[in-house]
Amino acid sequence: MSKSIDRRDFVGIGTGALMALAAARPRFVGAPAVRRGRAIEPVVISDYSGIAFKNGGLMNAVEKAFDLMTRGSDVLDAIIAGVNIVELDPEETGVGYGALPNELGVVQLDASCMHGPTKRAGGVAALEGVRTPSLVAKGVMDHTDHHLLVGAGAQAFARHLGIAVEDDLTTERSRRAWLEWKRRTQPEQYPRPEDRARRGHEIGLGMVREGLIPEHSYWGTVHVSAINARGEICAVTSTSGLAFKIAGRTGDSPILGAGMYVDNDVGACGSTGRGEANLYNLTSYLIVEQMRRGMHPKDAGLEGLKRIRANTIETRLLNSRGQPNFNIRFFALNARGQHAGVAMYAAGETTYGVCTEKGSEAVPLEPLLEGAPTD
C-alpha cells in the first residue's frame, strides 16, 4: 500500500525537483576567466622596439613601464610612458616622430589602448602632427564616449587636450628614405593604381633587403602590455603604419580586437607586422579567447597564426611554397603572468622584450613556419 504524502512533503519534493531541473539547464553567464594563482609576478612584454630604443635615456620602454608600475602607477599610465620613449625616438623610423611617411610624404600615426580593470579603451587613426599618438588615444578613452577618432578630428581633439601639434614629423633620415622611394617609383608614371601599389610595395621591400630601411620600421609598430601584482592588465599599440602607404590607410593598430585586445580576467595580446592580415582575422581577440579556453599564451598565439595562414589564399600574398609571403607577430600575456611571443617566420625580428624584477631581456619568438616570407 502506498504511503500518503502530506502538503509539506509535496512542497519539499516539488522544490527539490525544480532545483534539480535548474541545475541541469545551461546558464548564460559571463565568459569564463583564467584562474589565477595566489601570487602574480609583475611583468611587462613588448615587441622588439620596446627593448631596443631609449631615446638617449637610460631606460627602454619595458624598463620604464615596469619601474613606474611597480612603484604604484596605474598600469596603463606606466606602459604609455614606456611607449612614449619609442614614439619620441627619431631612430625608430616606424613609430611616432621621425617615422617613415605615407606616399605623399606625410607622417600619419595610429594608436590604441585598453584599460583592463575598468574595461575602457580609446584609439586614433591617421593622426598628423602629434609625436605621441598613444597619449591622444588615452585622451579619447578618458574624455569622450567614443573608442576611435581619426584624421583632422583626432588632431583637433589633441589640440583641445593641450597636446602639441606640429606641421611636420619627418626627420632628415625619414625624408631621405621617402625621397629615395619616390625616385624609384616615379619612372613608372603610375600607369594603373593597382600596378602602382604593387610596384611601390616591391620597391619598399627591396629597400628593406638592401638595408636602406630596417625591417621593423617598414611595418613600424610598438606594442607594450603588462600585468601588475594586483592582476591589473593594460596594453598599448602605436605605429606609423606601413611605410609609404596610401594616404589615409589605416591598419590594425588602432582597431580593438585586431592590433590589440585586453580582457582583464583573461589576458592581453598585441601585434606587429602585416596589419591587413590581422584585421581580416581579428587575431588579437582570437588569441585572448584561446587563452580563455585554457591555452598557454604560446599555443594561443600559434593558433592565431594558423588562422591567418589558413585564410591567406590570394596568389599575390603567397610565396613559392604556397605560404604567406609576409611576417606577422603576436605578443600574448595571460592573467597568471605567463607570456609568449610568436611569429609567422623566424626572420627579421626574432625576439621580443620582457621586463621583470630581474630586469629586461630579449626572448626568442616562437615561429610557426620555417624559413623567411620570401622563400
pLDDT score of 76 more than 50: yes
Query: For residue range 320-369, what is the model confidence (pLDDT) as tens digits?
Result: 999 999 999 999 999 999 999 999 999 888 999 999 999 999 999 999 99
CA distance 253 to 222: 9
Q: Which domains does the chain have, with CATH numbers?
A: 53-174+214-256 (no CATH), 273-375 (3.60.20.30)
Is residue 261 within 8 A of residue 268, CB to CB? The reply is yes
pLDDT score of 221 more than 70: yes
What residues are annotated to the active site? 221
Q: Which residue has the higher pLDDT, 24 or 281?
A: 281
Query: For residue range 244-279, what is the model confidence (pLDDT) as tens digits?
Result: 888 999 999 999 999 999 999 999 999 999 999 999
pLDDT above 70 covers what percent of the chain? 83
DSSP string, 203-215: HHHHHHHTTSS-H
pLDDT of residue 274: 92
pLDDT of residue 26: 38
Is residue 48 within 8 A of residue 353, CB to CB? The reply is yes
Q: Which residue has the higher pLDDT, 290 or 27?
A: 290
pLDDT, averaged across the chain: 88
pTM: 0.84
pLDDT of residue 21: 39
Q: How confident is the model at residue 208 (pLDDT cuts 50, 70, 90)?
A: confident
Rg (CA), the chain: 24
pLDDT score of 139 more than 50: yes
Report the amino acid identity of residue 108: Q
pLDDT of residue 3: 45
**Per residue in 43-63, is it b (16+ CB within 10 Å) or e — as a string?**
bbbbbbbbbbbbbeeebbbbb
Query: For residue range 83-127, what is the model confidence (pLDDT) as tens digits?
Result: 999 999 999 999 999 999 999 999 999 999 999 999 999 999 999
**Residues near 313 by beta carbon (within 8 Å), at least 6 away in sequence:** none
CA distance 28 to 241: 40
CA distance 286 to 301: 9
